[in-house]
Amino acid sequence: MILDQLSTNPAERIRELRVLITHHNEQYHSLDAPEIPDADYDLLATELRRLEAAHPELAGSALVGQAVGAAPSALRTPPERAGPEPPADPLPAAVELARTADNVLALRREAQGLEHKLTRRPKNPHCEICARTRSRQVYQKRGHSTANCPRGGISSLLTTSTANAPR
């Protein structure tokens, strides 16, 4: 194993690990010719991080063990495109918009029902009771008294909305 071949002196070991990691980064990312498996590289990087944490005075400003990747390989060329990209199909967007509009209408119809107004979970963005409940919950989470909540109380809204309900 590579780690067994390194020095036991922490300062020397950190220097050797930085050189090895930099070399293997270049081999892997720039030259597309890795010399060691990923698991061995991970062991080198983990060992360097462990040593730098144990000896902060030896940790350099270069974050060799924490860097991700390297410069793009010069050996790879981007694929050539045959021509301009075809325009996106407008049909899926229109279908999604219609589905969203249907959901909004369904939520608005649900918000008008008495059964929804009597439930305890504030979930409908089109329901005034739900909006007030959410506002009060946020106000309480911030440590404020709900008596001063700018959106008012729920009980007054319940009595007015049920009094105005058709009979």
Count CB atoms within 10 A of the CB of residue 92.
9
Whether 84 is covered by a domain: the verdict is no
Looking up residue 57, the CATH number of its domain turns out to be 1.10.287.610
Residue 83 has pLDDT above 70, yes or no: yes
Task: For residue 54, give the 3-state DSSP assignment.
Answer: helix
Q: Are residues 120 and 157 in the same domain?
A: yes
Is pLDDT above 80 for 156? no
Chain-wide mean pLDDT for the chain? Answer: 74
Cα–Cα distance for residue pair 167/91, rounded to 1 Å: 44
82 within some domain: no
Q: Is-above-0.75 flag for pTM?
A: no
In angstroms, the Cα distances linking 149 to 23, 154, 159 are 62, 11, 18
User: What average pLDDT score do residues 155-162 get?
Assistant: 46
What is the rounded radius of gyration, in angstroms, for the C-alpha atoms of the chain?
A: 31
Residue 115 lies in a domain: yes
**Percent of the chain residues past pLDDT 70, beyond the cut:** 66
Please state the domain count of the chain: 2
Domain housing 157? 90-163
Checking if the pLDDT of 135 tops 60, the result is yes
Domain assignment present for 77? no
Asked whether residue 40 is assigned to any structural domain, the reply reads: yes
pLDDT in tens, 8-43: 888 898 889 889 988 988 888 778 888 999 889 889
Dist. CA 78–CA 51, nearest whole Å:
39
Q: Would you say residue 122 lies in a domain? A: yes
Q: Which long-range contacts (CB under 8 A, 24 or more apart) does 106-114 make?
A: 114/162, 114/165
Do 47 and 97 fall within a single domain?
no
Report yes or no on 151 lying in a domain: yes
Residue 150 shares a structural domain with residue 116: yes
In a domain, 30, yes or no: yes
Cβ-proximal residues to 27 (8 Å cutoff; 6+ apart), any chain: 33, 34, 35
